[in-house]
Homo-oligomer: A and B are copies of this chain.
Amino acid sequence: MIGRLNHVAIAVPDLGAATALYRDTLGATVTPPKAEPDHGVTVVFIELPNTKIELLEPLGENSPIAAFLAKSPSGGIHHVCYEVDDILAARDRLKASGARVLGTGEPKIGAHGKPVLFLHPKDFNGTLVELEQA
């Protein structure tokens, strides 16, 4: 069911400093920051040959990563995102297996403009899993 690893998301407290770290210290290609007010984050992508790393900085009040950074102020790996061909079929299969889908269970349009769902980390070995329709 799951296909490509679309991205690994890392929450960071300071996107400018994190961009410099990945660009200058690790020598990676980093995209310009993009504010995603609907998702409560500002994002840059580290473009690797086979996938990407998404660096997330909180934006505005009620950012979905604010609690994570309150607990881990220097940042940390926040989630992994797998691609699926059919997000509704994936959701139904997961729910039938007993996995919990976060929120209403209806896909939302994610930061990449595609339908996404998040799965409860307690059902996946402490890993927050995002599914994105490819």
Contacting residues, chain B, for A26 (C-beta < 8 A) = 1-2, 82, 94
Q: Are A125 and B18 in contact (CB under 8 A)?
A: yes
Copies of this chain, complex-wide, total 2
Of the candidates B11, B48, B125, the one whose C-beta lies within 8 Å of that of A76 is: B125
Q: Nearest chain B CB to A113's CB is how many angstroms away?
A: 20
Stretch at the interface among A32-40, A49-57, A58-66, A101-109: A49-57
Report B-chain residues with C-beta under 8 Å of the C-beta of A97.
24-25
Interface size (A, Cβ < 8 Å)? 40
B51 touches A5 (CB 8 A): yes
Assess whether B48 is in contact with A125, with CB atoms less than 8 Å apart: no
Q: Is the CB of B8 within 8 A of A80?
A: yes
**A51 and chain B: residue at smallest CB distance:** B5
Is the CB–CB distance between B1 and A125 below 8 Å?
Answer: no
Neighbouring B residues of A10 by C-beta, 8 Å:
125, 127
Q: Is the CB of A122 within 8 A of B27?
A: no
Q: Tell whether, in the assembled complex, residue B125 and residue A49 are in contact, meaning their CB atoms are under 8 Å apart.
A: no
Within the complex, the shortest CB–CB distance from A46 to chain B, in Å, comes to: 8
Task: Say if the beta carbon of A16 comes within 8 Å of chain B.
Answer: no
Other A-B contacts than A2-B26, A72-B126, 11 sampled, CB-CB below 8 A, are: A1-B28, A2-B27, A3-B48, A4-B51, A5-B48, A11-B125, A12-B125, A21-B125, A25-B99, A75-B127, A76-B127
